[in-house]
């Protein structure tokens, strides 16, 4: 529900309602997950536990920086007070700047997302690739671990003893002839070939990746992971999609 705007009110004033008595002591994190189909958000307590239900709006089309930022502001306004912000974004993120956004809009290249949101929300903001954030919500922090997310595209994240290896975009590597991994198992492929064939393709992707990276654990996530019907090896598991938000606390561990 949108609140009335007072004369001279800043974005910070609009987005900072009074904190309730008995609220957790310590910083509250607003976690945002930008996806090709939807934008999600919730609040996390100082230990990374949810304080609110997950809120969601469809990703606007065209998904330009201005329209996505506006959608984020409308989405988070009713959630309540927070001290800092974590953002998972579907592309390569370096510092506060977007380098790629293959499933959104070409105008994202070079856009300083974290800085813009910080100015709009009046809070410090950190951003990371969305698969990277999701991995932080599920990894054990031992050995080599990998996250594959299946949604509009295909996300990838790699960790070594809990340390994130940035900017790995396996989705755009050639696979099966002229197709990339993303073209082979992304959202468009699922719609075109159906769930049964798509599941077989996902199995082929796992079989290809496993002996190359030799991860101790592989975690499968993303919005389309709900369609997975596979007999998976013991070291491969399907995760809850909310991990893409819960992992946001890790961006502030230092």
pTM for this model (two decimals)? 0.87
d(Cα 92, Cα 168) in Å, to the nearest integer? Answer: 8
Question: What fold is seen in the domain 11-133?
Answer: Nucleotidyltransferase; domain 5 (3.30.420)
Residues 34-42, mean pLDDT to the nearest whole number: 95
Give the model confidence (pLDDT) of 112-150 as tens digits.
999 999 999 999 999 999 999 999 999 999 999 999 999
Q: Which two tokens stand for residue 109?
A: 């290249």
CB 44 within 8 A of CB 52: no
Domain ranges of the chain: 11-133, 140-238
pLDDT of residue 23: 58
Please identify, in words, the CATH class of the domain defined by 140-238: alpha beta
In DSSP notation, 60-101 reads PSS--HHHHHHHHHHHHGGG---SEEEEEESS-EETTEE---
Give the model confidence (pLDDT) of 164-174 as tens digits.
999 898 999 99
Q: Is cis: bond before 89, omega within 30 of 0?
A: no
Q: CA nearest 220: which of 151, 149, 142?
A: 149
d(Cα 169, Cα 182) in Å, to the nearest integer? Answer: 10
Residues 32-50, mean pLDDT to the nearest whole number: 95
Residue 5 pLDDT > 50 = no
CA angle 171, 173, 174 (to 5 degrees): 120
145-to-158, 226, 238, 248 alpha-carbon distances in Å: 6, 21, 14, 18
């Amino acid at each position: 529900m949108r609140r009335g705007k007072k004369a001279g009110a800043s974005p910070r004033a609009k987005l900072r309602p009074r904190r309730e008595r008995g609220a957790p002591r310590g910083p509250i994190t607003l976690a945002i997950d930008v996806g090709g189909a939807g934008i999600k958000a919730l609040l996390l307590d100082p230990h990374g536990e949810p304080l609110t239900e997950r809120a969601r709006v469809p990703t606007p089309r065209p998904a330009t920086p201005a329209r996505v930022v506006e959608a984020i502001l409308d989405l988070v306004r009713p959630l309540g007070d927070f001290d800092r912000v974590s953002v998972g974004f579907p592309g390569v993120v370096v510092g506060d700047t977007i380098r790629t956004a293959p499933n959104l809009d070409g105008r994202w290249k070079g856009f300083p997302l974290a800085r813009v949101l910080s100015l709009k929300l009046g809070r410090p903001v950190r951003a990371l690739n969305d698969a990277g954030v999701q991995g932080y919500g599920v990894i054990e922090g031992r050995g080599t671990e990998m996250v594959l997310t299946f949604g509009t595209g295909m996300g990838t994240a790699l960790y070594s003893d809990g340390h994130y290896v940035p900017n790995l975009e396996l989705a755009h590597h050639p696979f099966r002839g002229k197709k990339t991994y993303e073209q082979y198992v992304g959202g468009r492929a699922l719609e075109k070939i159906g769930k049964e064939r798509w599941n077989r393709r996902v199995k082929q992707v796992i079989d290809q990746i496993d002996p190359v990276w030799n991860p101790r654990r592989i975690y499968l996530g993303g919005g389309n992971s709900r369609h997975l019907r596979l007999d998976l090896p013991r070291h491969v598991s399907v995760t809850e999609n909310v991990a893409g938000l819960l992992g946001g606390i890790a961006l502030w561990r230092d």
